[in-house]
């Protein structure tokens, strides 16, 4: 019997995959547990349409990330903060400050969760780099210039 898996099943297959199993296994376990549905002609067509729509959405997201990567690759963002005469910052610069500076200086809105600093918080004046994860395929680096106000 052929079934379409609704979620990953260990030692059987992954979600949205059509697999062939014994009748009893499908009728007594997979279908009642909600792990699979019967692979009829209509359900196969529905699966094909769903997969086509997912691929279209994924490609759209990928293209947007690629455009954004070209836009911000190698940008320099200047972050002004209060600091002592020795160059130590009062407080620290974190991903929120970087995201706000990107918005103010370059009018680019990036979620702070996508910005990764090599250090958790920057506590001294100077030049740093940050990585922006736009998509699993697109990771770009921006330069940070932390200066005193």
Q: Could you tell me the CATH number of the domain that includes residue 27? A: 3.40.5.10
Residue 11 class from Cβ within 10 Å (0-12 exposed, 13-18 middle, 19+ buried)? exposed
Nearby residues of 47 by Cβ (< 8 Å), 6 or more positions away: 4, 16, 18
Query: What is the pLDDT averaged over residues 17-36?
Result: 95
My answer on whether 76 and 130 are in the same domain is yes
Residues facing residue 96 across a β-bridge: none
Local confidence band at 55 (pLDDT 50, 70, 90 cut-offs)? very high
The CATH number that applies at residue 126 is 3.10.430.100
Reported as a pLDDT band with limits 50, 70 and 90, residue 45 is very high
Residues 47 and 74 occupy one common structural domain: no
Lowest mean pLDDT among 23-32, 41-50, 68-77: 68-77
73 plus 141 within the same structural domain: yes
Task: Answer yes or no: do 6 and 54 share one domain.
Answer: yes
For residue 108, what are the domain limits? Answer: 69-148
Tokens 């759209």 locate to 60
Residue 85's contacts (CB-CB under 8 Å, 6 or more residues apart) are none
């Amino acid at each position: 019997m052929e079934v379409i898996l609704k979620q990953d099943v260990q030692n059987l297959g992954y979600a949205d995959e059509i697999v062939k199993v014994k009748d009893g296994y499908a009728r007594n376990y997979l279908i009642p547990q909600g792990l699979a549905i019967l692979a009829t002609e209509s359900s196969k067509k529905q699966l094909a349409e769903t997969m086509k729509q997912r691929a279209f959405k994924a490609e759209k997201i990928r293209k947007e990330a690629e455009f954004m990567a070209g836009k911000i690759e190698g940008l320099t963002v200047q972050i002004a903060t209060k600091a002592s005469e020795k160059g130590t910052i009062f407080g620290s610069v974190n991903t929120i400050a970087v995201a706000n500076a990107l918005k103010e200086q370059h009018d680019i809105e990036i979620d702070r969760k996508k910005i990764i600093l090599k250090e958790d918080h920057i506590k001294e004046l100077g030049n740093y780099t940050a990585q922006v994860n736009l998509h699993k395929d697109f990771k770009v680096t921006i330069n940070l210039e932390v200066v005193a106000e």
